[in-house]
């Protein structure tokens, strides 16, 4: 699976946000001189991985580690600070809006909040027809109507309800509609950013089934973002673990959950709630997550890592690939200590 030509390739992606504000905000009086200081959030730092056709790769990690930023950079919503995004063999991170147009149908995104991502003043029909009219202007009205009805049926929303507005639907149904909006242009690839996080437990299974069914029927490829590790374990072929903008470990799902190698992955997995387990014993990390404004030198995890040794404080660990296909960035593993 990982040897097939990738559909998506992320190469050395860096995304920084300059939050310095206006020039006046940046000026500081320091040591008797006026200095200009920029404040930069280093949200994603040198991340590389690929996604093969038909694969589901999930990105996990704690709040603020850069998952959504990565997703948006892949979708072309945020231009990368440096690095490259390749899709279907072509580099797409620096395309003009016109050259990007075909990719806007092949790549789609589903968001966490179906309330915010649907236009409250548009009926379901209008919401679903709009992208088809835009991307396939040669289709007749009747064809568009059929396409919309078919997609609505596929996501389990009765096409007879097409003339209703988003507020007339429950949260789960609204998420079905935003998935329909992604599917209606017949994409090859979907980025789903926490698509079930806002939904009730009994609805989450419905939406996960819908996503898995759509993948099977349409041969879709997913980049799936979630903080729910039991969901990730269920649906992913491979899992990427991020910490503070950095990729720590990327491994086939079973490898990751049965034998996590990176110290952060180990701590993260030990903390997952498990049905019927007694107590909450877990690998305790000392300290707090540093801010992405002042990234620690060396390994970004070293201040909290129980295995940290000398090189960790100085050098950024380079990713290494183990025999079983697991990619890791950790001095301890590279040095044979872990």
Ligand X SMILES: Nc1ncnc2c1ncn2[C@@H]1O[C@H](COP(=O)(O)OP(=O)(O)OP(=O)(O)O)[C@@H](O)[C@H]1O
| Nearest 10 degrees: Cα torsion 280, 283, 286, 292 | -100
- The phi, psi pair for 58, rounded to 5°, reads -105, 150
178 near Mg ion, rule: CB under 5 A: no
Q: Please report where in the chains the tokens 């049926």 appear, as a residue.
A: 153
Tell me the three-class secondary structure of 260-276, residue by residue: CCCHHHHHHHHCCCCCC
231 near ligand X, rule: CB under 6 A: no
DSSP annotation of 290: P
211 near another protein, rule: CB under 8 A: no
Number of residues that bind another protein (CB under 8 A): 45
| Nearest 10 degrees: Cα torsion 306, 307, 309, 315 | -100
* C-alpha dist (Å) from residue 81 to 13, 14, 174: 8, 5, 34
Kind of pairing, strands 56-60 and 238-243? parallel
DSSP annotation of 133: H
Residue 252 touches which member of Mg ion, ligand X, another protein, none, C-beta under 5-8 Å by kind: none
68 near Mg ion, rule: CB under 5 A: yes
Window of 66-74, 87-95, 159-167, 242-250 that interacts with Mg ion by CB under 5 A: 66-74
Minimum CB separation of residue 104 from Mg ion in Å reads 21
Residue 294 touches which member of Mg ion, ligand X, another protein, none, C-beta under 5-8 Å by kind: none
Minimum CB separation of residue 33 from ligand X in Å reads 28
Residue 292 touches which member of another protein, Mg ion, ligand X, none, C-beta under 5-8 Å by kind: ligand X
Neighbour count for residue 237 (Cβ, 10 Å): 17
Helix residue spans in the chain (DSSP H): 23-26, 67-74, 97-106, 114-117, 124-135, 141-155, 171-183, 201-218, 229-235, 253-258, 263-270, 331-334
Residue 278 touches which member of Mg ion, another protein, ligand X, none, C-beta under 5-8 Å by kind: another protein
175 near ligand X, rule: CB under 6 A: no
Residue 33 touches which member of another protein, ligand X, Mg ion, none, C-beta under 5-8 Å by kind: none
Quick check: helix, strand or coil at residue 213? helix
Window of 29-37, 63-71, 280-288, 326-334 that interacts with ligand X by CB under 6 A: 63-71
Residue 17 touches which member of ligand X, Mg ion, another protein, none, C-beta under 5-8 Å by kind: ligand X
* CA 117, chain centre distance (Å): 16
Window of 9-17, 140-148, 229-237, 295-303 that interacts with another protein by CB under 8 A: 229-237
Whichever of 67 and 302 has its CB closer to ligand X, that residue is 67
* CA 296, chain centre distance (Å): 24
Minimum CB separation of residue 76 from another protein in Å reads 28
160 near another protein, rule: CB under 8 A: no
202 near ligand X, rule: CB under 6 A: no
Nearest to 2 by CA among 71, 48, 46, 55: 55
Minimum CB separation of residue 147 from another protein in Å reads 25
275 near another protein, rule: CB under 8 A: yes
292 near ligand X, rule: CB under 6 A: yes
Window of 45-53, 57-65, 156-164, 176-184 that interacts with ligand X by CB under 6 A: 57-65
Output the furthest CA–CA distance in the chain (Å, rounded).
Answer: 73
Classify burial at 182, counting beta carbons within 10 Å of its beta carbon; exposed 0-12, middle 13-18, buried 19 or more. buried
Angle at the Cα of 162 (from 199 to 113), degrees rounded to 5? 25
Residues that bind Mg ion (CB under 5 A): 68
Residues that bind ligand X (CB under 6 A): 17, 19, 41, 43, 61, 63-69, 227, 292
Residues that bind another protein (CB under 8 A): 62-63, 170-173, 200-206, 208-209, 212-213, 227, 229-231, 233-235, 253-254, 267-268, 270-282, 284-285, 288-289
């Amino acid at each position: 699976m990982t040897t097939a030509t990738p559909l998506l390739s992320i190469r050395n992606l860096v995304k920084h946000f300059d939050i310095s504000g206006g020039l006046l905000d940046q000026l500081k009086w320091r040591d008797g001189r006026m200095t200009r200081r920029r404040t930069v959030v280093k949200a994603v730092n040198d991340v590389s991985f690929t996604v093969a056709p038909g694969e589901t790769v999930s990105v996990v990690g704690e709040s603020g580690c850069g998952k959504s930023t990565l997703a948006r950079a892949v979708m072309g919503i945020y231009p990368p600070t440096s690095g490259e995004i390749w899709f279907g063999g072509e580099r797409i991170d620096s395309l003009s809006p016109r050259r990007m147009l075909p990719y806007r149908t092949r790549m789609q995104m589903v968001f966490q909040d179906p309330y915010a991502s649907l236009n409250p003043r548009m009926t379901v029909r209008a919401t679903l027809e709009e992208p088809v009219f835009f991307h396939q202007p040669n289709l007749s009205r009747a064809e568009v109507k059929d396409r919309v009805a078919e997609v609505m049926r596929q996501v389990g929303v009765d096409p007879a309800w097409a003339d209703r507005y988003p507020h007339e639907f429950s949260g789960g149904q609204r998420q079905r509609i935003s998935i329909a909006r992604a599917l209606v242009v017949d994409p090859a690839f979907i980025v789903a950013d926490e698509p079930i996080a806002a939904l009730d437990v009994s609805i989450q299974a419905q939406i996960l089934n819908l996503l898995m069914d759509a993948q099977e029927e349409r041969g879709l490829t997913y980049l799936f973002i979630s903080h729910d590790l039991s969901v990730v374990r269920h649906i992913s072929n491979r899992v990427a673990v991020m910490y503070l903008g950095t990729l720590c470990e990327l491994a086939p799902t079973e490898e990751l959950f049965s034998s996590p190698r990176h110290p952060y992955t180990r701590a993260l997995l030990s903390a997952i709630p498990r049905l019927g387990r007694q107590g909450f014993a877990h690998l305790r990390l000392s300290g707090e997550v540093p801010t992405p404004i002042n990234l620690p030198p060396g390994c970004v995890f070293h201040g909290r890592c129980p295995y940290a040794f000398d090189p960790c404080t100085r050098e950024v660990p380079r990713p290494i690939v183990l025999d079983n296909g697991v990619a890791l960035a950790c001095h301890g593993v590279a040095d044979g200590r872990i």
